[in-house]
Chains A and B, each alone.
Chain A
Amino acid sequence: MRTVIPELICPAGTPAALRAAVEAGADAVYLGFRDATNARNFPGLNFDEGEFRAGVDFAHAHACKVFVAINTFPPAGRPGPWRDAVDRAADGGADAVILADVGMLDYATTRHPNLRRHLSVQASASNADAIRFYQDAFGIARVVLPRVLTLAEITALNRQATVETEIFAFGGLCVMAEGRCALSSYATGQSPNTNGVCSPASHVRYERRDGKLISRLGEFTIDRVADGAPAGYPTLCKGRFVAGGRAGHLFEEPTSLDAIGMLPKLVGTGARALKIEGRQRGRAYVTRVVGAYRKALDALARGETPIADGSLDALTEGQRKTTGAYLKSWQ
């Protein structure tokens, strides 16, 4: 049986990153507009109308698709920016929109029936029944699977599901079910779901005290290292806390997903696409990661076994890597 090589879906945090991803061999890039309609609403990122259209032209000229992430949840009374984003994506020639909110899926299905709709990881559709809900109601063509599933569970889903699936292969990792996490809003008042930010810089403080460097998010200390030691960014769930009298990385170490070592297994699940996370990373990251995965997928397509050469290790958070929920033992 011929193996279906999945599409490689790559992050375009900026126009420059988009070009880098396309040139490195992406099959599709995903981007967001410069507002709260997407889950990477950070300063210095994302696309305005002109940049988006230029990006679409560039990508399409290189046989690469463009997906627009409009994957946050409009607050009550303010659907405008989200509806505008869907309209702009449709008018600008996007190949698909990536949506999470049921109200927005309704809008897109009604207003732009021919615009391909992908279900964001933020919808947390972690089982066949949920996937079927979105398929029946909104005709979604693809679901990005939440990162709570093992390889075996993904394989089982693909056997049952009649929709394409997309799974993460590399990059920053949420350890909580995405789209269902209010940890950051508990500490900062900024909601990942409605503001599109987690552990926002606006609420980060570093403080030197007694030879230590303390990093805080809002009022809460997230980590404390010896002054002079490398201090990572205080993403809440990657911090160190005390539970049961012991201090440590209670939720997860600063680490990234890197599944390149299990690429044949990822392909074997039947997933239609592999997703690289990293809209907050620069051009160099995009070029190297996309290039490495392109090379590995092309090797698989030729019937060869790709070699995981550790070339991406330096790019993972904390220079550590994990395969996340893909293996049951992680849970």
Chain B
Amino acid sequence: MAIRPAPAKTAALTLGPLLFNWPAQEQRDFYARIADEAPVDAVCLGEVVCGKRGTLYAGDLPAVAERLRRAGKQVVWSTLALVVGGRDSESVRAVAALADEAVGDLVEANDFGAIALLAGRAHAVGPFVNVYNEGTLHHLARGGARRITLPFELPADSIRALAATAGPTDLPVELEVQVFGRTPLAISARCYHARAHGRSKNACDFVCDMDPDGMDVETLDGRSFLAINGTQTLSHAIGNLAREVPALRDMGIDRFRLSPHQIDMVAVARIFRTILDGRIDGAEADARLAELAPFAPFANGFFHGREGAARVDPDYILSD
């Protein structure tokens, strides 16, 4: 059975789940501003990285969700990427129960346990699920996946091939690509934040809350390399595909994910909205984004089939 991408329409922006451990009040303020001012179509809520953190702010999420819905944003409930043990599995079930599909909510599965729970119910699949090829995409679509955010390391050729799977079908799948934010690279049972502070995950004291954009990791030569966020390891460089958005649209990608950092995300969303509306070119967008996100350089290597840390000028790429 072949999959046809959803028909071409106005491109959509999604605010990805907050990956970092921000204080509850800060999160409430952040989402209030997003609801009121950010030109995004969907907002992901929920804890993706560490099951321990959920208790810190889970009680706030229903009210945040309601505020976002009233502002016309679709609520996407993201779930844990690494689900180990009964407590994690229970929290995935609890998140799935919070979703109100009647008002357009979606649950986003980030592991195959969540996919099993959501089978037969329209749902989203997040970028932590290995959707590398058509066979996998087909299988997930048959199980009810209506939206898939593609893995971060996929090169353009793969994105193009997945978006192009076409044919007579009654299983439309929207594809989404993350175009802004530090790139998650790995997840572990071990907490590297705790370890860097001489602790272990059991007695972590939530030290991950000290680094709202991730804790910088450098090589012995002093070169910035990675960032630690609890059990998650991310790129130091901020993934930025602003200049590749036109190429992505040509491939048939109509949804773009922005991963929240502690910068003016409303301004970031406005810049990407302006790119999608064709009112600003990539180079200018880049310059404005650089002013908004000075804490790390940009990278776009994965998209161009290179090492993820690379920064490639797409204007020098000859299209075929």
List the interface of chain A (C-beta within 8 A of B): 73-79, 100-104, 106-107, 123-130, 132-134, 136-137, 147-149, 153, 156, 175-177, 179-183, 185-189, 191, 193-194, 214, 218-224, 240-244, 246-247, 250-252, 325, 328-331
Contact = CB atoms under 8 A, between A and B. Distances in A.
User: In this complex, which of B88, B112, B183 has the most chain A Cβ atoms within 10 angstroms of its Cβ?
Assistant: B112
A317 B128 CA distance: 30
A183 B307 CA distance: 10
Given A74-B135, A76-B134, A76-B161, 13 more contacts: A77-B161, A102-B140, A124-B112, A125-B112, A127-B111, A129-B113, A149-B84, A175-B188, A182-B185, A189-B301, A222-B219, A241-B217, A241-B218
Contacts of A153: 84-85
Contacts of A106: 135, 138-139
A278 to B, nearest CB: 22
B132 A148 contact: no
A185 B308 contact: yes
A243 B153 contact: no
A101 B133 contact: yes
Nearest to A136: B116
Contacts of A156: 85-86
Closest 8 CB pairs between A and B?
A103-B135, A129-B113, A148-B189, A76-B161, A186-B308, A133-B116, A176-B186, A130-B113
Given A180-B186, A325-B190, A221 B84 contact: no
11 contacts: A77-B157, A102-B139, A103-B139, A107-B135, A127-B88, A130-B111, A185-B153, A185-B302, A193-B153, A219-B309, A331-B200
B286 interface: no
Contacts of A75: 132-133, 157-158, 161
A189 B305 contact: yes
A329 B202 contact: yes
B136 interface: yes
Interface of B: 81-86, 88-89, 92, 111-117, 119, 128, 130, 132-140, 152-153, 157-158, 161-162, 183, 185-192, 195-197, 200-202, 215-223, 225-226, 228, 233, 235, 301-302, 305-310
A76 B132 contact: yes
Best-surrounded residue of B114, B157, B219, B223 (most CB of chain A within 10 A): B219
A187 B119 CA distance: 36
Contacts of A224: 220-221
Contacts, number: 233
Contacts of B220: 214, 221, 223-224, 240-242, 247
Interface residue SS majority, chain B: mixed
Contacts of B233: 176, 183, 251
Interface centre among B190, B216, B307 (most CB of A within 10 A): B307
A124 to B, nearest CB: 7
B162 A76 contact: yes
Contacts of B88: 127
Nearest to A160: B86
B217 to A, nearest CB: 5
Contacts of B195: 250
Given A107-B135, A246-B196, A331 B189 contact: yes
A101 B135 contact: yes
B136 A101 contact: yes
A188 B116 CA distance: 34
A175 B226 contact: no
Contact of A73 (B115, B132, B137): B132
Contact of A177 (B113, B186, B215): B186
B317 to A, nearest CB: 15
A103 to B, nearest CB: 2
B96 to A, nearest CB: 11
A250 B192 CA distance: 7
B308 A177 contact: no
B132 A74 contact: yes
Given A76-B134, A153-B85, A183 B186 contact: yes
Contact of A325 (B81, B189, B223): B189
B187 A180 contact: yes
A247 B310 CA distance: 25
A73 B195 CA distance: 31
A180 B128 contact: yes
Contacts of A74: 132-133, 135
Contacts of A107: 135
Contacts of A182: 152-153, 183, 185-186, 302, 308
Contact of B219 (A134, A148, A188, A221): A221
Contacts of A127: 83-85, 88-89, 111, 113
Contacts of B189: 147-149, 177, 325, 330-331
Nearest to B198: A246
Given A193-B132, A244-B197, A331-B189, A126 B84 contact: yes
A194 B130 CA distance: 11
Nearest to B84: A126
A108 to B, nearest CB: 11
